[in-house]
Each structure stands twice: as structure tokens, then as C-alpha cells.
């Protein structure tokens, strides 16, 4: 098995058994975004206390890459300071996914990132530009 095949297996595993998938009772902030080209939706929910991301969950429906990406992002951000989301970017998400992603699949990979960034910016009361 090549390294790429191995990472594809990991992505499929995340798709079948997503981490931090579900609904929170009382999220501090939540944001839902969709990919207009396919209609897939990811909602990110965050529980924040003293700027610390105490809990993070997501729900929605999407392809293997969008769900794997959402899972990896939640695992990465849990316990971090909310300010760190500002520096969380496309390169970091692609590094977490660890397989080459380009073209139309890029939107799949970045859907959860958009949602979590918007949630954070709403919380921090800043504009996303
Ligand atoms: Fe819809 Fe990937 S095909 S997010």
C-alpha cells in the first residue's frame, strides 16, 4: 500500500466513524455553512470558556473529504484558544488531510474550515475578510 492509499483509507475511516460528530446542548456559538456546488452542509458548534475551546462538535452531511476534514479540524482545535482559529488556514487543513487535494475537491476540504472560522469570528465580534 502506498502512503497515499494509506491516507485515503484514513479519510474513509473518518468518514465512516467521524470524530466529534453530534449536537451540543448549549453551544456558545455555532455556524452553518454549505458548499453551493453540491449543497452539502456542515455546522460547527463550539463551547467556549475564558477563550478556551472546551468542546467542539459538528453535524451535517457531506462527502468523505468534507466529513474527514471536519473531524480532523475538531480534533485539532479542541482545548485550544479561540484566537488560534485566526491562524488556522487552508494549508493547515490540507496538511491534516495529508493527501493531494485540488480543484473542486478543495471546496470540500475547506467547508468545515469556513464554518469554524465564521463561528469564531462571530464569537470574537470581528469581521471575516
Ligand atoms: Fe459536497 Fe464534497 S461533494 S462537500
**pLDDT value of position 1:** 82
Residues 57, 63: Cα–Cα separation, whole Å: 17
**pLDDT value of position 4:** 84
Largest interatomic CA distance in the chain: 47
How many domains does the chain contain in total? 1
The answer to whether 117 and 25 are in contact (CB under 8 A) is no
User: Number of helices and strands (H, E) in the chain?
Assistant: 4, 3
Domain assignment present for residue 129? The answer is no
Domain assignment present for residue 13? The answer is yes
CATH number at residue 84: 3.90.1010.10
**pLDDT value of position 126:** 59
pLDDT, tens only, 97-120? 999 998 999 999 999 999 999 999
The answer to whether 39 and 62 are in contact (CB under 8 A) is no
| Nearest C-alpha neighbor of 105 from the set 42, 6, 38 | 38
Nearest CA to ligand 1 atom 3: 63
**Run of H or E including 70:** helix 64-77
Domain assignment present for residue 101? The answer is yes
**pLDDT value of position 127:** 44
**pLDDT value of position 102:** 86
pLDDT less than 70: residues of the chain: 126-129
* Enclosing domain of residue 79: 3-124
Q: Is the CB of 41 under 6 A from ligand 1?
A: no
Alpha helices in the chain (DSSP H): 3-16, 64-77, 90-97, 105-124
Cα angle 89, 31, 34; round to 5: 75
pTM of the model: 0.93
**Run of H or E including 49:** strand 41-49
Mutation probe of ligand 1 site: the residue of 33, 40, 93 with most atoms within 8 A of C-beta: 40
**pLDDT value of position 28:** 96
The answer to whether 49 and 26 are in contact (CB under 8 A) is no
Amino acid at each position: 500500500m502506498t502512503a497515499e492509499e494509506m491516507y485515503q483509507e484514513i479519510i474513509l475511516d473518518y468518514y465512516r466513524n467521524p470524530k466529534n460528530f453530534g449536537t451540543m446542548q448549549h453551544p456558545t456559538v455555532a455556524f452553518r455553512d454549505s458548499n453551493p456546488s453540491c449543497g452539502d452542509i456542515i455546522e460547527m458548534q463550539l463551547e467556549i470558556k475564558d477563550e478556551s475551546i472546551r468542546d467542539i462538535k459538528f453535524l451535517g452531511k457531506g462527502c468523505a473529504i468534507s466529513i474527514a476534514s471536519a473531524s480532523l479540524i475538531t480534533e485539532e482545535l479542541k482545548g485550544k484558544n479561540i484566537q488560534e482559529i485566526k491562524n488556522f488556514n487552508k494549508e493547515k487543513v490540507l496538511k491534516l488531510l495529508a493527501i493531494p487535494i485540488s480543484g473542486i475537491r478543495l471546496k470540500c476540504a475547506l467547508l468545515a474550515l469556513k464554518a469554524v472560522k465564521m463561528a469564531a469570528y462571530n464569537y470574537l465580534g470581528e469581521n471575516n475578510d
